[in-house]
Each structure stands twice: as C-alpha cells, then as structure tokens.
Structure 1
C-alpha cells in the first residue's frame, strides 16, 4: 500500500473521497466553468464592441486566468491519485496565484496611469509570479504557507482602497468585498478535510467568490459604461 504521507502535500486527502463527493465536486466545477465561459464571452464581446475597448487586454488576462484556474482545478480534483495528479497539483496551486493577479488586473488598469496603480500592479504580479515559481519548483516545501500568501495578495487591495474608491463604482467595490469575504470563509472548508463533502463545499465558495468578482468586473466595465 502506498504511504499516504509521501503524497499528502499534493493529494490533499486525509481519507478517500466517496463517489457521491466526487460527483458533487464535478457538478460544482462544471457549473463554474460553464458560467465563467458564458459570462466571460459576453463581457469580452460587450467591452470590445461598446463599453471598454481599451481595457480588452486586461479583461482577456482576467477571463483567461479565470477559465484556467477552474479548468485545472477540475482536472486535478477529479483525477485519481497517480503521478499525473501530482503534476496537476503543481499547476492547480500555481494557477491560483495567476488568477489572483488576473482578477486584480482590470481594476488596476483603471488606475494604471498613476504611481499607486503602477506600484500595486508591480506588487501583485511580482508576488504572484514568485508564488507560481515556488509552487512549480518546490511545492512540497511551501505547504499551507501558500494559503497565507494567497490571502495576503488577495487582500492587498486594501492598501489602495482610497484610489479604487475614487475611481470604481460603489456597487463594484461592494461586490469585490463580498467576493473576498466569500473566498476567505471558504478556506475553513478547504482545511476541514475530515468533513463530509468538504472539497465540494470549498469549491462552492470558490465559484461563489469568483462569480461575485466576475460580476464586479461586468459592473465596472460594462454596466456603468453603457
């Protein structure tokens, strides 16, 4: 029998998931992917043709990282324990860093011409790329410290809150805050591995947070520019 400790950092399973748990997790991922693909396509189409053609590069980065993180997560979480899953784990955890930076990109683009905006963009992408490198090269030594870094980068927007508040619509700010809180609460289930359906519940919060942030982007780049 394979030693659980030898692959615990990448399997994230203290116990084998039941068939029902895997089905539930698959449904959550599929709904997230379908919704992200549909809403992302609408966002890019409207931004390109009507509301924000200048922001299309930033929006493309955002939508691309959103689909990547959901797609890689789907593949990793549903793949059986094997050498392939071990590699998927690296990409799954690295993609989270890219997604955090990608989510910030459309909003930082709005204040991108300012010293604050440029400094924040440099910090977010710099820290995220360092996280990507660590997860790809030495993931077994990074461990759950990555969660703290995810949260630190994710909530670093409070450092430029005043600049964002002066530029972004109020509803966009509330949606951003709600998404951040949703992600943060979901970490409880991510760590609560002995709870039945914990992985599916964690991904419900992930999809929920991503949906709120996607709506924030649409609110900022489309709705308030029509």
Structure 2
C-alpha cells in the first residue's frame, strides 16, 4: 500500500482525500497531530515517522467506519504521511556525536549536485593531460585531474549508498573516504602550482612541494582515528591545510592566476559555513556541494590557462635563448 500511496498521494491525493480530511482525519486517532506529537509518535523513541502501534490503533478505530470509509481513510492517511515525509526539506539537527539524517529531498539534492559533474570532471582531466606540453606538466595535470574526478565520484557514490540505506558497512567506508578525499583534493589542487612555478629555495615555502602531501596524510590519519568525534576541529584542519599552501603561491614572482586562486579559495571558505549547517538550513549540504563545484571550476580554469597551456605572451624571449642556454630564473624558461 505504501508504494501505491507514494504515487497516488502526488497525483490523486488532494481531490480524493479532501472531504475525508475535513472530517475524519481531523478527529481520527491517527491524525497528524496524534501521530507526530501524541503517544503514538515515533519521536518518543528517537525515530521519525509513525510508531508501530499505529497499525493496531487504526484497526480499532476502523470498527466505527463502514468498509469503504475504512479503506478510503486508511489509504488517504497513508498517502498523507508519505507525501509529507517525501517533501520534507530538512530534519532536526543531530544531537551530540550523532550524524545528521537527511530527508529524501536532501538525499536527492546531495546526489545530483555532485553526480552531474562526475563525467565533466573526468573529461576536464583528460583535456588537461592531453594539453600538457612536457612530462612535468603531464604529471601535474594527471595528479590534479585525478583529484578532481575522484572528489566528485567518491562523493556521489557515498550519497547514493547513504540514500539506499542497505549497505551499512559500505556506507561507513565511503563516508570516511569522502572525508579523506577533501584532504587529497586540497593537495592535488596546489600540486600544479608548486611543481610548475619556481619557488625561492631559501624559503620554507619551497618544502611545500612535498609538505602539502604530508599535511594531507596527517589530516587523513586524524580523520580516520577520530571519525565524527571532534567535528569542529576537523573542519579547522580543512581550513588550515587549505589556506596554508596559498602563502607559497603568493610568494612566487609570477602572480598570474593568483586572482582566480584567491577567488576560488574564498568560495570554498564560504561554502564551509553551509557544510556545518545541516538541520539549520534546508539543503545545507547540497548548497556546500554547489560552492565546491563553483570553486573547483575557477581553479580548473586557472590551472589550465596559466600553468598547462603554452603561454601566448613572451614566446619571443624563448627565441633568443637555445634550450641549453636557457636561464631557469627566467619564468618563460622555467616552463619549458
């Protein structure tokens, strides 16, 4: 009956159930008020929806109705409950260390907002690798593209399994992987800048070429050991690891692409606000996903335009020097 009611509640519920809802449902022992706030409410048991005792109560109440009225009332009430549950935009906040439980609408929004960008991310990664003009550029493009495609793929797979609700162990593994991919993605996003742009060798920023991956590994280990225990501290680690390497980029002599890098970083930081607002703002996690998509697109454009593709300006400088005589201190030579 529930599966039928799901369809019927969307198409036939208003015209067929309105007369009943005005009289029977308003005073029925299984009314919305009784079920969600009275003794039959699942809220007393830390659950959402209708308590199992509702079935027994329905049988008792139906003795007062004719068979057709009993059938109509049961069908309409089931449709009403299902309809209102499916269209819920937000659940209550999670208490303590408990994880937030999205509504069906939020589940779909979470799947779609990253799922739509899996194939574009893979395509963009291939384009970037194909456009590379040296082995070092190809290495940087491969690392960046793998991180970009991996982020959207793991996130989408996790939210699909979470929505299905059948594979608890797989969901746990994917949840941890989804969080770990944030650290990996931060490292892969900075890798092209740290590999393809010259860094001052007498500065601490020079060591971020490998240090960014150490930070990512430390973040992943912390996240795996204390999964969902210190959520605010974990978010602080995301921000620290995400912002710290930007100091190295700003220390570079070549500042082309820096504006895009700053803009994308600012969008990520603003998106983190929604990352922590589940249960306070409807579709908060899906909004966070959209911030990630926008920032990732801006950073992809910057990496492809300023690091991977051949420079359109300053090529005459390369004509003056042969490859063997090229001075690596010259920005154009460092890109050969």
**TM-score range, shorter-chain basis?**
0.7 to 0.9
1:213 aligns with 2:299: yes
1:152 aligns with 2:234: no
Q: Which deviates more from structure 2 when the two are superposed, residues 123-132 or residues 51-60? A: 51-60
Cα 1:208–1:179 change in 2 (3 A) is same
Q: CA deviation at 1:206?
A: 1.0
Which of 1 and 2 has higher RCO (CA within 8 Å, sep 6+)? 1
Q: CA deviation at 1:63?
A: 1.0
Aligned pairs (5 A) from 1:1-226? 8=98, 12-13=99-100, 15-18=101-104, 20-47=105-132, 51-80=133-162, 81=165, 82-111=168-197, 114-115=200-201, 116=203, 117-164=205-252, 166-169=253-256, 172-194=257-279, 195-223=281-309, 225=311
State the distance in 1 between where 2:271 and 2:228 align: 23
Residues 144-192 of structure 1, C-alpha deviations (whole Å, 9 max, x = no match): 311111111111134224433x1242xx111111110111111111111
Cα 1:61–1:222 change in 2 (3 A) is closer
8 Å CA contact 2:124, 2:145 repeated in 1 = no
Q: Which deviates more from structure 2 when the two are superposed, residues 204-213 or residues 152-161? A: 152-161
TM-score by length of 1: 0.84
Structure 1 residues without counterparts, runs of 5 or longer: none
Q: CA deviation at 1:216?
A: 1.1
TM-score by length of 2: 0.58
Cα 1:160–1:137 change in 2 (3 A) is same
Larger radius of gyration: 2
For the aligned residues, what is the CA RMSD?
2.4
Cα 1:101–1:30 change in 2 (3 A) is same
8 Å CA contact 2:199, 2:206 repeated in 1 = yes
State the distance in 1 between where 2:274 and 2:299 align: 20
Q: CA deviation at 1:112?
A: 5.6
Structure 2 residues without counterparts, runs of 5 or longer: 1-44, 48-93, 313-336
Q: The residue matched to 1:28 in structure 2 has which SS?
A: helix
Cα 1:55–1:201 change in 2 (3 A) is same
State the distance in 1 between where 2:113 and 2:130 align: 26
8 Å CA contact 2:275, 2:284 repeated in 1 = yes
Instruction: Considering fraction of residues, name the structure with more helix.
Output: 1
State the distance in 1 between where 2:228 and 2:122 align: 32
State the distance in 2 between where 1:142 and 1:124 align: 23
Q: CA deviation at 1:222?
A: 3.5
State the distance in 2 between where 1:46 and 1:223 align: 6
Cα 1:112–1:122 change in 2 (3 A) is farther
Q: The residue matched to 1:167 in structure 2 has which SS?
A: coil
